[in-house]
Structure 1
Amino acid sequence: MRLKHSRFLKLSLLTVSLFSTTLIASPGAHDPNGEHLDQNSSKGNGELGRQADGSVLMPMKHQALLDIRTQFAEVTAANKHVQLHGIVKPHPDGFAIIQPSSDGRLDAPEKGMYTSGTLVKAGEILGYIRYQYTAFDLASQTSELVAVRNQIAQTNRDVERLRKLGDLASKQEREQLETQLTTFKQQESVLKQGIEKSEALIAPIDGVLVNKSVSRGQWVEAGKTLFEIVSPRKFIVEATTSNTNLLSKFTTAEITQLPNVELNYAGYSPELVNGLIHANFESLNNTDNNLLLNKPVTIKAPLNETIEGIVLPAKAVVLSANNLPQVWIKLSAERFLPQIVEYEELEPGYVVITKGLGADNRVVVEGSSLLNQVR
């Protein structure tokens, strides 16, 4: 009876030992060809740290201290991404230039002179241009106005005289005089406007005003840019590239510094600038107020091209002693093995492994650089 009890106790202890070993071991790792990687290689010396076969033994408590994290490798199809440098520019449909059509002095509107950064609405008056006549010009214009007004007065008298004659007067002559009277009045209005009325500078769109260093009473010339209005909701990003193959693969993009801003590909300029192509991405409904014109930004754009492989964080890939890219595979609870791989950049912060790594392996995604330093 004691013998049976002793055998049962030994069998139970063996079962518990095997069960506990199963709990701490990770799934069986294998190479890209599906061959099983031995977790108990004879090349290891059994001591903590770097082993003879290049693997690393590290206790669980040290892994927790160094924040070593892993994830299962899965083969997926993902869109390729590209990262480009660009500059924020105003959108042609969200940008306006205010220029006078004649020389003169700048007068302020009722609200006073607008400063840069002021929000304005379409139709607001930003200022007036009052023409500064010379004494000769003013005398000439006034003389013409007086002559036209005299002609209006004389024509009015002639028309009234014919009306009083009634049927005795020529109807054709009266109609000709009435036509002349209308022409004279139009001339009077034009001359009066030229002398007395200023040119109003009107905002054509809603947006943020930029004052180009102008002030009240300043003499300005026709065609000089006095104000600019920029719509904060509409802008473009001019991204540069030398790769012509990308131009047909762009669809959308986002700004790395402002991930909430979405961009749509609008096309590219047919003109090379310093040997580079300008690809334009536009935003027509921006709500982020932190965007400034002429600000250098970085954009990431998905391409109309897929690639199959294992997507990992870029920091999972480190360089081996031979300067070859590698990842670390977790063979067991405390053992890690380096694996040489080939990869392509997928998007900022991520890569896709195309060769060298099999699916369902536990790949180190946090702490790869620390494992590389273990000796």
Structure 2
Amino acid sequence: MTRFLPHRPHLSRLPAPLSRRRRARGAAAPLAALLALALAALLPVTTQAHEGHDDAPPPAVRGDAPQRLPDGSVFLPKPSQRQLGLRTVVAQPSAQPQSVELPGRVVLDPSTGGRVQAMIAGRIEPPAGGLPALGEKVRRGQLLAAIHPSASALELGNQAAQAADFRAQLKVAEKRLARLQSLEATVARKDIEQAEAEVQSLKDRLATLSGSLRYHEELRAPVAGVVATANAIAGQVVDARETLFEIVDPAGLRIEALTFDPRLAARIATASASPAPGESLALRFVGAGRALREQAVPLQFRVDAGPETGTAPVLALGQTVTVLAQTRDTVTGAPVPAAALVKNPANQDVVWVKTGAERFVPRPVRFVPLDGARVTLTDGVAAGERVVVQGATLLNQVR
């Protein structure tokens, strides 16, 4: 006789025995270890580099033409380096004088330059040799132009009438003198001398008045030099105090700079001016003003002649220049030519560092001006690295 047991559904959902689970877990452990080893073999091996060093291999180069690599560096073969004229220097940080950049302009030296101004209003008349031209050398005391004074018809009429009155008085005085001289035996000597003095006085007054009608003011060069400004034209009518000529000595120009630090004048050691990028002129500090001009203190410098040729630099009055005043304070950095600085696409100041025979890497840097032709790199370049100082602009254009 068959006996049926009652159905118990909760017994089918009971967990497996503990021994069975442990056997399943032991069988899965070797499989997980094998999978981990396989994944480790497929992943690339990476090592952590020390701070400041990049041990990652450089990106692959395709071909032997100049090209910009994906990491921003440039591959440049040796023939291309010689064609672009690249030159490098080794960065050697040292203590350099700290410089202050000031805006300046070329001004007239009051001791070696001069201005020719009209003292009266009138019409310009050229001298026998003609009016001086721009850039012409003139001597001190040389006649540059003459001014015929302007006078109205009424003034000329009054002068002519006064001259006629003097002539009439002179005739009367001469007749009286002649009569007294004929009676010299009976007339006192003092009366004759008084008549002679009156005649002479009338002659002098008449000559002075006649000369004023023909008066011409002569404009002469106050100093020797070169004509820097010429505002005179034959027949031109000018007013009093109008500047017609400016004469400068090219070897005696001065540069005036403005600073908002009144204590800077006491800390200036040397100075230089940069009229154009890459050019530098030696300056000698003259003095500082004690009155503000445009809310700044004016500083004056004298331009020195070139040490090699001894010739004066080519500057123009009113020309704007950049003055670099080197103070007695120092800053630590590597001095390099200003031509080594270029701009990257992010408008950052960078220099190109040669890291290999044919590989160049851009380095963002911070710098301070040193003089008109050099800067001091204070950050971004380590000691011993080779910085491109010539041809950096062409290198920066490689794509």
TM-score (norm 1): 0.62
Match among 264, 269, 272 for residue 293 of structure 2: 272
Separation in 2, partners of 1:174, 1:319: 97
Question: Aligned letter for 2:163?
Answer: T
- Assess, with a 3 A threshold, how the Cα gap between structure 1 residues 173 and 77 changes in structure 2: closer, same or farther: farther
2:316 corresponds to which residue? 292
8 Å CA contact retained: 2:274, 2:372 = no
3-state secondary structure, aligned to 1:303: strand
- Assess, with a 3 A threshold, how the Cα gap between structure 1 residues 61 and 48 changes in structure 2: closer, same or farther: farther
8 Å CA contact retained: 1:47, 1:57 = no
Match among 229, 234, 249 for residue 246 of structure 2: 229
8 Å CA contact retained: 2:133, 2:227 = no
Residue 208 of structure 1 deviates from its aligned partner by: 1.0
- Residue 183 (str. 1) matches residue 204 (str. 2): no
Separation in 2, partners of 1:200, 1:319: 58
Match among 141, 155, 163 for residue 142 of structure 1: 163
Give the number of aligned pairs. 325
3-state secondary structure, aligned to 2:266: coil
2:101 corresponds to which residue? 83
Residue 126 of structure 1 deviates from its aligned partner by: 0.8
The CA deviation string for residues 106-129 of structure 1, in whole angstroms up to 9 with x for no partner, is 433323455555544333151241
Residue 220 of structure 1 deviates from its aligned partner by: 4.5
Separation in 2, partners of 1:332, 1:209: 54
- Assess, with a 3 A threshold, how the Cα gap between structure 1 residues 346 and 157 changes in structure 2: closer, same or farther: same
Separation in 2, partners of 1:189, 1:195: 10
3-state secondary structure, aligned to 1:92: coil
Question: Aligned letter for 2:324?
Answer: K
1:205 corresponds to which residue? 223
8 Å CA contact retained: 1:81, 1:346 = yes
Residue 193 of structure 1 deviates from its aligned partner by: 1.6
Separation in 2, partners of 1:333, 1:171: 114
3-state secondary structure, aligned to 2:267: coil
3-state secondary structure, aligned to 1:248: helix
Separation in 2, partners of 1:90, 1:119: 17
1:281 corresponds to which residue? 301
3-state secondary structure, aligned to 1:145: helix
Question: Aligned letter for 1:364?
Answer: V
Q: Which runs of 4+ in 1 moved over 6 A?
A: 54-60, 65-68, 317-342, 355-358, 367-374
- Assess, with a 3 A threshold, how the Cα gap between structure 1 residues 185 and 336 changes in structure 2: closer, same or farther: closer
The CA deviation string for residues 230-264 of structure 1, in whole angstroms up to 9 with x for no partner, is 21424333334444443333444233339475443
Q: Which has the higher contact order (CA 8 A, sep 6+)?
A: 1
The CA deviation string for residues 172-201 of structure 1, in whole angstroms up to 9 with x for no partner, is 545544544543343233222223443333
Residue 99 of structure 1 deviates from its aligned partner by: 0.5
Match among 253, 270, 290 for residue 272 of structure 2: 253
- Assess, with a 3 A threshold, how the Cα gap between structure 1 residues 117 and 225 changes in structure 2: closer, same or farther: farther
2:143 corresponds to which residue? 124
Residue 97 of structure 1 deviates from its aligned partner by: 2.8
- Residue 157 (str. 1) matches residue 174 (str. 2): no
Match among 126, 129, 144 for residue 108 of structure 1: 126
The CA deviation string for residues 23-43 of structure 1, in whole angstroms up to 9 with x for no partner, is xxxxxxxxxxxxxx99xx894
- Assess, with a 3 A threshold, how the Cα gap between structure 1 residues 272 and 227 changes in structure 2: closer, same or farther: closer
Separation in 1, partners of 2:100, 2:58: 45
8 Å CA contact retained: 2:115, 2:243 = no
2:115 corresponds to which residue? 96
Separation in 2, partners of 1:280, 1:345: 20
- Assess, with a 3 A threshold, how the Cα gap between structure 1 residues 182 and 283 changes in structure 2: closer, same or farther: farther
Question: Aligned letter for 1:267?
Answer: G
Separation in 1, partners of 2:212, 2:249: 37
3-state secondary structure, aligned to 2:167: helix
Match among 202, 213, 234 for residue 215 of structure 1: 234
8 Å CA contact retained: 1:315, 1:365 = no
- Assess, with a 3 A threshold, how the Cα gap between structure 1 residues 125 and 186 changes in structure 2: closer, same or farther: farther
User: Which region of structure 1 is more displaced relative to structure 2, 198-207 or 252-261?
Assistant: 252-261
1:13 corresponds to which residue? none
Question: Aligned letter for 2:245?
Answer: E
3-state secondary structure, aligned to 2:292: coil
Which segments of 5 or more consecutive residues in structure 1 lack a partner in the other structure?
A: 1-36
Separation in 2, partners of 1:330, 1:44: 17
The CA deviation string for residues 138-178 of structure 1, in whole angstroms up to 9 with x for no partner, is 4322223314533652464367447x53xx76455455445
Question: Aligned letter for 1:82?
Answer: V
Q: Percent identity?
A: 24
Between structure 1 and structure 2, the one with the greater Rg is 2
- Assess, with a 3 A threshold, how the Cα gap between structure 1 residues 307 and 296 changes in structure 2: closer, same or farther: same
- Assess, with a 3 A threshold, how the Cα gap between structure 1 residues 44 and 370 changes in structure 2: closer, same or farther: farther
8 Å CA contact retained: 2:117, 2:242 = yes
Separation in 1, partners of 2:394, 2:220: 64
- Assess, with a 3 A threshold, how the Cα gap between structure 1 residues 209 and 60 changes in structure 2: closer, same or farther: closer
Separation in 2, partners of 1:211, 1:370: 44
